[in-house]
Structure 1
Amino acid sequence: MNIATIEFLLFFTASLLFLLIFLALYYLWNKTSEIEAITRKSVKTMTRLSGGTLLGLLGKEIWDALASAKLPVDRREELENRYVYILQRHIERVLEQGVFDHRKGKNETPSSDAAIGGTKGEIQSWIPQKYVKTLYSIGQETAIPSLDGEQTDLLMDKIQETIGAMLSDIGMQNRQRVLFNRVRNNVNSKDEETDSDEIS
């Protein structure tokens, strides 16, 4: 075998090796791009359907952080101040869903998760399922047309007790009066709007 043949074989082998390396790198780059595209799409979908974070916490993480009592005082206060409105709207949404479903003849307890609109966009909120069931049931009861004043007061007491239990779980008992009053006022105003719609 002469020198020219050896040089040709070396050149051919090196070229083939470089080609294989290039193809392998291209394949990896292509797959990585596909995975990144799928991931971005999934994140956008999840955010759109489930809401975003609150101080970096998402859904059940918010509840668990408040329940753990391990947050620094300043961070806890900030989280409570922003979460109390989200929790209020979540409670109202479950109650409203109960009312709506009762009027439609449905009985489907909502999920613990909900995307709640806040001042800076939607936040993913989470409530333990036992409280969701209780609030949903109360909502269905409030939709009964024949309720008298005493029965309505009893339902409001149930709402207050449920809110108290929820806030006790996450160490926010001091927010109970304000939160309940807001929920009660909003629920009452919704009922008045519904009554006027039915009359008209």
Structure 2
Amino acid sequence: MSTMSLFPPDALATPNASATDQQLGPGAWVLRGYALDDVDGLLAELGRIRRQSPFRHMVTPGGYTMSVGLTCCGTVGWTADHKGYRYAAIDPETGQPWPAMPHLFLALAQQAASHCGYAGFTPDSCLINRYVPGARLSLHQDKDETDFSAPIVSVSLGMPAMFQFGGLKRSDRPEKVPLFHGDIVVWGGPDRLRYHGVLALKDDPHPLLGANRINLTFRKTR
């Protein structure tokens, strides 16, 4: 059953809702194809970011090496090691500040947030995940931030993925939501701390990015 069917028509209204928008919860949406017009610019900026701060596979406090490659841009970036999870202004791999967030990245994130009713979104960090076939992201909450009033904005590029959008408890059964090249997911308000993750990616190469999926996740950390 589609998640959209769980909500009456008046609950689906946002200031700029379109026929292709899909509601996942009271404050959560999938914007189908919303980033397609910006793909070339996003990938060009990504090339600059990864040259300055390359993708790496971080090790969790429990000693698990993440299957997803990660880098960041913005005033702070997310890091993980044996000490825990945190945001830091310096990239631990390079010893230099993280790359600045490109204007195009910021503008797209703000436009998507505003489209869903979250005006004034000012992310200071963008986590950039690279998935290859078999890579996955287990169910988790985004709770390393100090400001939960701002939404999360997540942009999908490249190979399709099966997004899991759960409840406020880990034990809540997640909804499975297919995501495709150019889709954006926005969640905030009562949905801000919902568990979410990505199932292991299938080997389904994309015409532009090959056997890669890139995910840009914008957050206001403080």
Same fold? TM cut 0.5: no
User: What is the TM-score of this pair, normalised by structure 2?
Assistant: 0.25
Give the structure-1-normalised TM-score: 0.27
Higher Cα Rg: structure 1 or 2?
Answer: 1
